[in-house]
Amino acid sequence: MTPGQRHKIIGTFDDITTSTPEKSLVTPLKSSGGRNNSGKMTMRYIGGGHKRQYRIIDFLRNKDGMTATVKTIEYDPNRSARIALVVYADGEKRYIVAPVGLKVGQTIASGAGVAPEVGNTLFLSEIPLGTVVHCIELTPGRGAAMARSAGTYAQLLAREGKYAIIKLPSGETRMVLTTCRATVGTVSNPDHSLEQSGKAGRKRWLGRRPRNRGVVMNPVDHPMGGGEGRASGGHPRSRTGVLAKGYKTRNPKKTTSKFIVSRRNK
pLDDT value of residue 116: 96
- What are the sequence ranges of the domains in the chain? 3-192, 216-266
CATH of domain 3-192: 2.40.50.140
pLDDT value of residue 264: 87
In Å, what is the CA distance from 82 to each residue of 75, 77, 148?
Answer: 5, 9, 10
Tell me the C-alpha distance between 75 and 84, whole Å. 9
CATH 4.10.950.10 fits 216-266, yes or no: yes
User: In the predicted model, is pLDDT for residue 233 greater than 90?
Assistant: no
Per-residue model confidence as pLDDT tens digits over 153-201? 999 999 999 999 999 999 999 999 999 999 999 999 999 999 999 999 9
In Å, what is the CA distance from 37 to each residue of 33, 34, 41, 42, 45?
Answer: 11, 10, 10, 10, 18
